[in-house]
Amino acid sequence: MSRALPPGLGEHPFSVRQGEAAGLSRGRMRGRDLARPFRGARVGRSVRPTLLERCAAYACRCPPGHFFSHVTAALLWNVPLPRELERGGALEVAVLKPGAMPRSAGIRGHRLAGDGIRVMKRHGLDVADPASLWCQLARVLSHDDLVAAGDHLVLVPARLEPADPRPYVELAELQRRVAAFRGRGAPALRRAMAAVRQGAESRAETHLRLAMVRAGLPAPELQGEIRNARGGFLGRADMVYRFQRVIVEYNGDHHRTDPQQFEDDLVRIESFRDDGWTVVEVRKRGLYVTLSATLARIRRALAF
Protein backbone atom coordinates (compact mmCIF):
# COMPACT_ATOMS: atom_id res chain seq x y z
CA MET A 1 0.00 0.00 0.00
CA SER A 2 1.30 3.43 -0.92
CA ARG A 3 2.32 5.78 1.83
CA ALA A 4 -0.38 8.35 2.56
CA LEU A 5 0.30 11.81 1.19
CA PRO A 6 0.91 14.66 3.63
CA PRO A 7 -2.29 16.54 4.55
CA GLY A 8 -3.44 18.82 1.73
CA LEU A 9 -0.82 17.70 -0.76
CA GLY A 10 -3.05 15.21 -2.54
CA GLU A 11 -5.94 17.67 -2.85
CA HIS A 12 -4.23 20.02 -5.32
CA PRO A 13 -1.59 19.72 -8.05
CA PHE A 14 1.97 19.98 -6.76
CA SER A 15 5.43 20.01 -8.25
CA VAL A 16 7.97 17.24 -7.75
CA ARG A 17 10.08 19.74 -5.80
CA GLN A 18 7.17 20.44 -3.46
CA GLY A 19 6.68 16.72 -2.99
CA GLU A 20 10.34 16.21 -2.14
CA ALA A 21 10.20 19.13 0.32
CA ALA A 22 7.25 17.40 1.99
CA GLY A 23 9.28 14.19 2.37
CA LEU A 24 8.02 12.17 -0.61
CA SER A 25 10.47 9.95 -2.43
CA ARG A 26 10.73 9.83 -6.22
CA GLY A 27 9.31 6.31 -6.03
CA ARG A 28 6.28 7.50 -4.04
CA MET A 29 5.63 10.19 -6.62
CA ARG A 30 5.49 7.48 -9.29
CA GLY A 31 2.64 5.86 -7.35
CA ARG A 32 -0.46 4.73 -9.25
CA ASP A 33 -2.66 7.06 -7.19
CA LEU A 34 -0.91 10.11 -8.70
CA ALA A 35 -1.42 11.47 -12.22
CA ARG A 36 1.13 13.56 -14.13
CA PRO A 37 -0.66 16.49 -15.80
CA PHE A 38 2.73 17.49 -17.24
CA ARG A 39 6.37 16.74 -16.57
CA GLY A 40 7.48 17.67 -13.07
CA ALA A 41 3.95 17.92 -11.63
CA ARG A 42 1.68 15.49 -9.80
CA VAL A 43 -1.96 15.42 -8.72
CA GLY A 44 -4.18 12.82 -7.10
CA ARG A 45 -6.04 10.78 -9.72
CA SER A 46 -9.35 11.48 -7.96
CA VAL A 47 -8.79 15.25 -8.06
CA ARG A 48 -10.13 17.45 -10.85
CA PRO A 49 -7.89 20.51 -10.51
CA THR A 50 -9.10 23.96 -11.45
CA LEU A 51 -7.40 25.94 -14.18
CA LEU A 52 -5.74 28.13 -11.57
CA GLU A 53 -4.40 25.08 -9.73
CA ARG A 54 -3.03 23.57 -12.95
CA CYS A 55 -1.33 26.85 -13.82
CA ALA A 56 0.12 27.16 -10.33
CA ALA A 57 1.50 23.61 -10.53
CA TYR A 58 3.17 24.33 -13.87
CA ALA A 59 4.54 27.65 -12.61
CA CYS A 60 6.33 25.82 -9.78
CA ARG A 61 8.48 23.87 -12.23
CA CYS A 62 8.60 25.90 -15.45
CA PRO A 63 11.83 27.48 -16.76
CA PRO A 64 12.37 31.23 -16.36
CA GLY A 65 10.69 33.35 -19.03
CA HIS A 66 7.61 31.16 -19.49
CA PHE A 67 4.24 32.88 -19.10
CA PHE A 68 0.59 31.99 -19.72
CA SER A 69 -0.84 33.31 -22.98
CA HIS A 70 -3.68 33.03 -25.50
CA VAL A 71 -6.81 31.21 -24.21
CA THR A 72 -5.22 30.29 -20.86
CA ALA A 73 -4.37 33.94 -20.22
CA ALA A 74 -7.87 34.95 -21.29
CA LEU A 75 -9.38 32.57 -18.74
CA LEU A 76 -7.10 33.91 -16.02
CA TRP A 77 -8.34 37.43 -16.87
CA ASN A 78 -11.96 36.13 -16.70
CA VAL A 79 -12.58 36.87 -20.38
CA PRO A 80 -15.97 35.44 -21.46
CA LEU A 81 -15.35 32.79 -24.11
CA PRO A 82 -17.41 30.23 -26.03
CA ARG A 83 -18.18 27.21 -23.87
CA GLU A 84 -15.84 24.89 -25.74
CA LEU A 85 -12.92 27.20 -24.91
CA GLU A 86 -14.00 27.80 -21.31
CA ARG A 87 -13.74 24.07 -20.65
CA GLY A 88 -10.02 24.45 -21.16
CA GLY A 89 -7.51 21.92 -22.45
CA ALA A 90 -3.76 22.08 -22.72
CA LEU A 91 -2.30 25.08 -20.93
CA GLU A 92 -1.06 27.70 -23.39
CA VAL A 93 2.41 28.85 -22.42
CA ALA A 94 4.60 31.32 -24.27
CA VAL A 95 8.17 32.54 -24.27
CA LEU A 96 9.64 35.54 -26.04
CA LYS A 97 12.23 34.99 -28.75
CA PRO A 98 14.98 33.87 -28.68
CA GLY A 99 13.83 31.62 -25.83
CA ALA A 100 13.21 27.94 -26.55
CA MET A 101 9.64 26.88 -27.35
CA PRO A 102 7.84 25.50 -24.27
CA ARG A 103 7.42 21.76 -24.79
CA SER A 104 5.77 19.41 -22.34
CA ALA A 105 2.81 17.06 -22.07
CA GLY A 106 -0.28 19.11 -21.27
CA ILE A 107 1.26 22.29 -22.69
CA ARG A 108 0.67 24.09 -25.99
CA GLY A 109 3.76 26.19 -26.51
CA HIS A 110 4.20 29.52 -28.30
CA ARG A 111 7.41 31.35 -29.20
CA LEU A 112 6.56 35.00 -29.69
CA ALA A 113 8.19 38.15 -30.99
CA GLY A 114 8.03 41.07 -28.59
CA ASP A 115 5.25 43.10 -30.29
CA GLY A 116 4.80 45.16 -27.12
CA ILE A 117 3.95 42.11 -24.99
CA ARG A 118 4.22 42.73 -21.27
CA VAL A 119 4.18 39.98 -18.67
CA MET A 120 2.08 40.80 -15.63
CA LYS A 121 1.24 39.10 -12.36
CA ARG A 122 -2.28 37.69 -12.15
CA HIS A 123 -3.20 35.44 -9.21
CA GLY A 124 0.53 35.30 -8.53
CA LEU A 125 1.25 33.88 -12.00
CA ASP A 126 3.17 35.31 -14.96
CA VAL A 127 0.49 36.11 -17.55
CA ALA A 128 0.35 38.04 -20.81
CA ASP A 129 -1.01 41.55 -20.35
CA PRO A 130 -4.66 42.11 -21.41
CA ALA A 131 -3.90 43.99 -24.63
CA SER A 132 -1.47 41.28 -25.75
CA LEU A 133 -3.81 38.39 -25.05
CA TRP A 134 -6.62 40.18 -26.93
CA CYS A 135 -4.36 40.38 -29.97
CA GLN A 136 -3.58 36.68 -29.53
CA LEU A 137 -7.29 35.80 -29.52
CA ALA A 138 -7.82 37.26 -33.01
CA ARG A 139 -6.98 33.91 -34.63
CA VAL A 140 -9.24 31.95 -32.26
CA LEU A 141 -12.49 33.89 -31.83
CA SER A 142 -15.29 34.95 -34.13
CA HIS A 143 -15.81 38.67 -34.69
CA ASP A 144 -18.61 38.94 -32.11
CA ASP A 145 -16.69 37.00 -29.45
CA LEU A 146 -13.56 39.05 -30.10
CA VAL A 147 -15.58 42.23 -29.53
CA ALA A 148 -17.10 40.72 -26.37
CA ALA A 149 -13.60 39.92 -25.09
CA GLY A 150 -12.51 43.51 -25.80
CA ASP A 151 -15.61 44.89 -24.09
CA HIS A 152 -14.76 42.82 -21.00
CA LEU A 153 -11.17 44.03 -20.85
CA VAL A 154 -12.04 47.75 -21.07
CA LEU A 155 -15.07 47.56 -18.75
CA VAL A 156 -15.28 49.78 -15.68
CA PRO A 157 -17.94 48.00 -13.56
CA ALA A 158 -20.52 49.93 -11.59
CA ARG A 159 -19.19 48.19 -8.47
CA LEU A 160 -15.42 48.14 -8.38
CA GLU A 161 -13.53 45.38 -6.58
CA PRO A 162 -10.52 46.87 -4.75
CA ALA A 163 -8.64 43.57 -5.08
CA ASP A 164 -9.22 43.39 -8.84
CA PRO A 165 -8.62 46.84 -10.39
CA ARG A 166 -10.55 47.60 -13.57
CA PRO A 167 -10.43 48.26 -16.42
CA TYR A 168 -7.85 45.61 -17.17
CA VAL A 169 -6.74 47.82 -20.05
CA GLU A 170 -7.77 51.37 -20.94
CA LEU A 171 -9.71 51.70 -24.19
CA ALA A 172 -7.15 54.15 -25.59
CA GLU A 173 -4.28 51.76 -24.78
CA LEU A 174 -6.07 48.86 -26.49
CA GLN A 175 -6.61 51.04 -29.56
CA ARG A 176 -2.91 51.99 -29.57
CA ARG A 177 -1.77 48.38 -29.32
CA VAL A 178 -4.09 47.24 -32.11
CA ALA A 179 -2.92 50.06 -34.38
CA ALA A 180 0.68 48.92 -33.86
CA PHE A 181 -0.03 45.18 -34.22
CA ARG A 182 1.33 43.58 -37.40
CA GLY A 183 0.90 39.89 -36.65
CA ARG A 184 -1.54 37.35 -38.06
CA GLY A 185 -5.12 38.34 -37.36
CA ALA A 186 -4.42 42.08 -37.57
CA PRO A 187 -7.34 42.81 -39.99
CA ALA A 188 -9.77 40.94 -37.70
CA LEU A 189 -8.47 42.92 -34.72
CA ARG A 190 -9.02 46.24 -36.44
CA ARG A 191 -12.58 45.31 -37.41
CA ALA A 192 -13.32 44.23 -33.85
CA MET A 193 -11.63 47.27 -32.31
CA ALA A 194 -14.03 49.54 -34.19
CA ALA A 195 -16.92 47.87 -32.34
CA VAL A 196 -15.46 47.64 -28.80
CA ARG A 197 -17.32 49.83 -26.31
CA GLN A 198 -16.99 50.60 -22.62
CA GLY A 199 -20.07 49.50 -20.70
CA ALA A 200 -21.06 45.99 -21.84
CA GLU A 201 -21.21 43.75 -18.79
CA SER A 202 -21.60 40.35 -20.44
CA ARG A 203 -20.81 38.42 -23.61
CA ALA A 204 -24.52 38.17 -24.39
CA GLU A 205 -25.03 41.93 -24.05
CA THR A 206 -22.29 42.46 -26.61
CA HIS A 207 -23.79 39.87 -28.97
CA LEU A 208 -27.20 41.54 -28.72
CA ARG A 209 -25.80 45.03 -29.33
CA LEU A 210 -23.89 43.87 -32.40
CA ALA A 211 -26.98 42.11 -33.79
CA MET A 212 -29.01 45.29 -33.29
CA VAL A 213 -26.48 47.45 -35.11
CA ARG A 214 -26.17 44.93 -37.96
CA ALA A 215 -29.95 45.08 -38.31
CA GLY A 216 -29.74 48.81 -38.95
CA LEU A 217 -30.71 50.02 -35.48
CA PRO A 218 -28.75 52.90 -33.98
CA ALA A 219 -26.00 52.08 -31.47
CA PRO A 220 -27.42 52.39 -27.93
CA GLU A 221 -25.91 54.05 -24.90
CA LEU A 222 -24.47 51.38 -22.60
CA GLN A 223 -25.10 51.15 -18.87
CA GLY A 224 -26.92 54.45 -18.91
CA GLU A 225 -28.12 56.02 -15.67
CA ILE A 226 -31.89 56.49 -15.54
CA ARG A 227 -33.27 59.30 -13.40
CA ASN A 228 -36.80 60.58 -12.93
CA ALA A 229 -37.95 64.16 -13.51
CA ARG A 230 -36.85 65.13 -9.98
CA GLY A 231 -33.36 63.74 -10.56
CA GLY A 232 -33.93 60.63 -8.46
CA PHE A 233 -31.76 57.69 -9.45
CA LEU A 234 -33.83 54.76 -10.73
CA GLY A 235 -31.00 52.49 -11.81
CA ARG A 236 -28.68 51.64 -14.69
CA ALA A 237 -29.94 50.07 -17.87
CA ASP A 238 -28.06 47.75 -20.21
CA MET A 239 -28.86 49.64 -23.43
CA VAL A 240 -30.59 53.00 -23.61
CA TYR A 241 -32.21 55.09 -26.35
CA ARG A 242 -32.89 58.33 -24.48
CA PHE A 243 -34.65 60.26 -27.22
CA GLN A 244 -37.16 57.45 -27.78
CA ARG A 245 -37.26 56.58 -24.02
CA VAL A 246 -36.59 52.94 -24.81
CA ILE A 247 -34.48 50.53 -22.77
CA VAL A 248 -33.25 47.12 -23.89
CA GLU A 249 -32.37 44.75 -21.05
CA TYR A 250 -30.69 41.36 -21.39
CA ASN A 251 -31.70 38.98 -18.61
CA GLY A 252 -28.97 36.40 -18.11
CA ASP A 253 -28.66 33.25 -16.04
CA HIS A 254 -28.51 35.18 -12.77
CA HIS A 255 -32.29 35.51 -13.07
CA ARG A 256 -32.40 31.75 -12.58
CA THR A 257 -29.52 31.30 -10.14
CA ASP A 258 -29.65 34.43 -7.94
CA PRO A 259 -33.13 35.09 -6.46
CA GLN A 260 -32.07 38.36 -4.81
CA GLN A 261 -30.66 39.74 -8.07
CA PHE A 262 -33.83 38.63 -9.83
CA GLU A 263 -35.99 40.53 -7.32
CA ASP A 264 -33.78 43.62 -7.51
CA ASP A 265 -34.02 43.62 -11.31
CA LEU A 266 -37.81 43.28 -11.20
CA VAL A 267 -38.06 46.35 -8.97
CA ARG A 268 -35.61 48.31 -11.12
CA ILE A 269 -37.42 47.53 -14.38
CA GLU A 270 -40.80 48.32 -12.84
CA SER A 271 -39.44 51.71 -11.77
CA PHE A 272 -38.33 52.38 -15.36
CA ARG A 273 -41.78 51.55 -16.70
CA ASP A 274 -43.51 53.57 -14.00
CA ASP A 275 -41.40 56.55 -15.16
CA GLY A 276 -42.68 56.18 -18.72
CA TRP A 277 -39.87 54.13 -20.31
CA THR A 278 -40.57 51.28 -22.71
CA VAL A 279 -38.46 48.29 -21.63
CA VAL A 280 -37.75 45.45 -24.04
CA GLU A 281 -36.52 42.43 -22.08
CA VAL A 282 -34.47 39.81 -23.90
CA ARG A 283 -33.49 36.36 -22.68
CA LYS A 284 -31.14 33.72 -24.02
CA ARG A 285 -33.64 32.15 -26.41
CA GLY A 286 -34.59 35.56 -27.77
CA LEU A 287 -30.96 36.25 -28.60
CA TYR A 288 -29.73 32.90 -29.88
CA VAL A 289 -32.88 31.21 -31.24
CA THR A 290 -35.54 33.80 -32.10
CA LEU A 291 -33.30 36.78 -32.84
CA SER A 292 -35.39 38.06 -35.77
CA ALA A 293 -38.47 38.31 -33.56
CA THR A 294 -36.45 40.07 -30.86
CA LEU A 295 -35.10 42.63 -33.31
CA ALA A 296 -38.65 43.23 -34.56
CA ARG A 297 -39.77 43.94 -30.97
CA ILE A 298 -36.97 46.47 -30.51
CA ARG A 299 -37.71 48.08 -33.85
CA ARG A 300 -41.41 48.48 -32.93
CA ALA A 301 -40.49 50.02 -29.58
CA LEU A 302 -38.27 52.54 -31.34
CA ALA A 303 -40.90 53.11 -34.06
CA PHE A 304 -38.28 52.45 -36.73
pLDDT in tens, 261-275: 778 888 999 999 999
pLDDT of residue 10: 64
What are residue 15's phi and psi, to 5 degrees? Answer: -85, 160
Residue 181 lies in a domain: yes
Find out whether 162 and 210 touch, Cβ atoms under 8 Å. no
pLDDT of residue 275: 96
Residue 272 lies in a domain: yes
**How many Cβ atoms are within 10 Å of 222's Cβ, its own excluded?**
20
Domain final residue, candidates 145, 169, 193: 193
Residue 198 lies in a domain: no
Residue 4 lies in a domain: no
C-alpha to C-alpha distance for 177 and 171, rounded to whole angstroms: 10
pLDDT of residue 4: 74
What pairs with residue 224 in β-bridges?
Answer: 237
pLDDT confidence tier of residue 282, bands split at 50, 70 and 90: very high
Domain final residue, candidates 138, 160, 193: 193
Residues 156, 258 within the same domain: no
Range of the domain at 151: 62-193
pLDDT confidence tier of residue 210, bands split at 50, 70 and 90: very high
- SS3 state at 51: helix
Residue 279 lies in a domain: yes
Domain final residue, candidates 193, 216, 240: 193
Find out whether 217 and 291 touch, Cβ atoms under 8 Å. no
What are residue 150's phi and psi, to 5 degrees? Answer: -65, -45
Q: How many domains does the chain have?
A: 3
Please compute the mean of the pLDDT values over residues 215-240 and round it to a whole number: 96
pLDDT of residue 49: 77
Over the stretch 56-93, which tens digit does the pLDDT of each residue have? 888 877 889 999 999 999 999 999 999 999 876 889 99
Output 112 or 105, whichever has higher pLDDT: 112
Q: Calculate ∠ Cα 176-121-87, nearest 5°.
A: 90
Residue 81: in which H helix or E strand, if any? none
C-alpha to C-alpha distance for 282 and 208, rounded to whole angstroms: 9
Q: Is the pLDDT of residue 31 over 90?
A: no
C-alpha to C-alpha distance for 26 and 158, rounded to whole angstroms: 51
Contacts 24+ apart (CB under 8 A), 89-96: 91/38, 91/54, 91/55, 91/58, 92/68, 93/58, 93/62, 93/66, 93/67, 93/68, 93/69, 94/66, 94/67, 94/68, 94/69, 94/70, 94/128, 95/65, 95/66, 95/67, 96/65
Please compute the mean of the pLDDT values over residues 276-295 and round it to a whole number: 97
By mean pLDDT, which of 104-118, 177-191, 212-226, 227-241 is the weakest? 104-118
Q: What is the CATH number of the domain that holds 279?
A: 3.40.960.10
pLDDT of residue 231: 94
Mean pLDDT for the chain overall: 90
C-alpha to C-alpha distance for 6 and 124, rounded to whole angstroms: 24
Contacts 24+ apart (CB under 8 A), 108-112: 108/70, 110/69, 110/70, 112/69
Output 244 or 113, whichever has higher pLDDT: 244
